[in-house]
Chain A
Amino acid sequence: MISLTEELTLLAVEDDGRIAYTAGSPNFAMALVGACIVDLNKAGRVDADLNGLNVLSHEPIGLPAQDRVLEVIAAGPVQTTERWVLELQGDSPDLVRMTLAQLQKRGILHQAEKRFLWALRARRYPIDDGGKEQKEAKLRILAALLSDGLPTPDDSMLIGLAVAGGLLEAFLSKSEIARLAERIAEIGGLDLVVRGVEAAIRADAEVRAHAIMLSIH
């Protein structure tokens, strides 16, 4: 089974192997950091409460992106998940690269250089396993949203982070998302780490809006 961080990254890979523009957004960056923290939580390296993210063990889990996040958190002060997500969002490009490399190592996708306009090169990540893992992640999200049962914790966290990172738009239309909004709010992100990511996104948006207002005056 692949990690939540890998699932979230896979959702950002488009059918032609391009990484969706969404993956360059601050919201995706913060959702990805959150996914790393959730993976570390599930592996017993950290645990979160409303006061902070506590390190339980410094031992790496063998997944480079998550271990990078663990290294930084273990070296820092005890502070809230929201604070860590805000601080680590700048590391997102590296975390994405490490996760894509991990997915290549698992044989789920490969890296390819494509040329366009004869000269410009673009890196793509075509999916190799017939899209099994990516389809499975999308199907799990849809099944949880369309059923009236309770989700598994993994599905709830995947939905919460996919919504936070703006990834639902990759496979659901705006009208479908609007139709499912109530169900998404009910079952998505039933977790303290995911709520920390959402709080970080709100705080980040406020800072950006404030900066824009200052530039106007």
Chain B
Amino acid sequence: MNVTHDTNNRTTTIHAAGRLDFEAAGAFQKDLEQAVADAAAGGHALVLDCAALDYVSSAGLRVFLVGARAAKASSVPFAVYSLTAAVKEVFDVSGFGRIIDVLADRAGALEKVGRSA
């Protein structure tokens, strides 16, 4: 799994690519928790670009919940966007769409977290 970050217009974007399985989950969780802490400290919003994330397992899915929970607890606006069909199916089956803002594209995600595209 490959993870990169960039920050523009008070919004941090995490670009996640590859496979989010048990092996990758621990490092990604640390990364996401740190990004939430940094966003909270800087008054930033956080969006997660999943366009190149092609696999999420049960262990990987829990990282999204940990991240969303940390963001909510820190009052960091948080949204996920551009899910691939495979990852969207995992979100739909597990019910994550009910607790996390999942948007079709970056513009929608930025609007959701209160930032213009």
A residues neighboring B (CB under 8 Å): 41-42, 44, 47-50, 54, 56, 149-153, 156, 185-187, 189-193, 195
Name which residue of chain A comes closest to B100, CB basis: A150
Q: Kindly state the separation between the CA atoms of A187 and B98 in the bound complex, as whole angstroms.
A: 8
B1-34 interface with A by 8 A CB criterion: 21-22
B40 contacts A by Cβ under 8 Å: no
The answer to whether A186 and B99 touch across the interface, beta carbons within 8 angstroms, is yes
Q: Are B99 and A150 in contact (CB under 8 A)?
A: yes
The distance in angstroms between the C-alpha atoms of A76 and B65, with both chains bound, is 31
Which 7 interchain pairs have the tightest Cβ spacing? A48-B58, A150-B69, A153-B62, A192-B58, A47-B22, A47-B57, A49-B57
Q: Within residues 88 to 117 of chain B, which ones have a CB less than 8 A from any CB in chain A?
A: 89-90, 93-96, 98-99
Grouping DSSP codes into helix (H, G, I), strand (E, B) and loop, the B interface class, with mixed when no group exceeds half, is helix
A195: chain B residues within 8 A (beta carbon): 93-95
* With known contacts A189-B95, A195-B93, A49–B55 Cβ distance under 8 A: yes
Complex Cα distance A149/B73, Å? 7
Closest chain B residue, CB of each to CB of A194: B94
Asked whether, in the complex, the Cβ of B90 is within 8 Å of the Cβ of A190, the reply is no
The reply to whether B66 and A153 form a contact with Cβ atoms under 8 Å apart is yes
Alpha-carbon distance between A186 and B94 when the two chains are bound, in angstroms? 10
| Min CB–CB distance A191 → chain B (angstroms) | 6
Q: Which residues of B contact A (CB under 8 A)?
A: 21-22, 55-59, 61-62, 65-66, 68-69, 72-73, 89-90, 93-96, 98-99
Residues on B with beta carbons closer than 8 Å to the beta carbon of A150: 65, 68-69, 72-73, 99
What are 15 pairs between A and B in contact, CB < 8 Å? A41-B58, A47-B57, A47-B59, A50-B89, A150-B69, A150-B73, A152-B69, A186-B95, A186-B98, A186-B99, A190-B65, A190-B94, A191-B58, A192-B61, A192-B90
Measured between C-beta atoms, what is the minimum distance from A159 to chain B in Å?
12
Distance between Cα atoms of A116 and B73 in the complex (Å): 52
The reply to whether A191 and B61 form a contact with Cβ atoms under 8 Å apart is yes
* Least CB distance, A94 to chain B, in whole angstroms: 25
User: Measured between C-beta atoms, what is the minimum distance from B5 to chain A in Å?
Assistant: 22
Residue from B68, B73, B94, B99 in contact with A191 in the complex, judged by beta carbons closer than 8 Å: B94
Q: Shortest Cβ distance from B44 into chain A, in angstroms? A: 20
User: Of all chain B residues, which has the CB nearest A160?
Assistant: B95
**A190 / chain B contacts, CB cutoff of 8 Å:** 61, 65, 94-96, 99
B98 and chain A: residue at smallest CB distance: A186
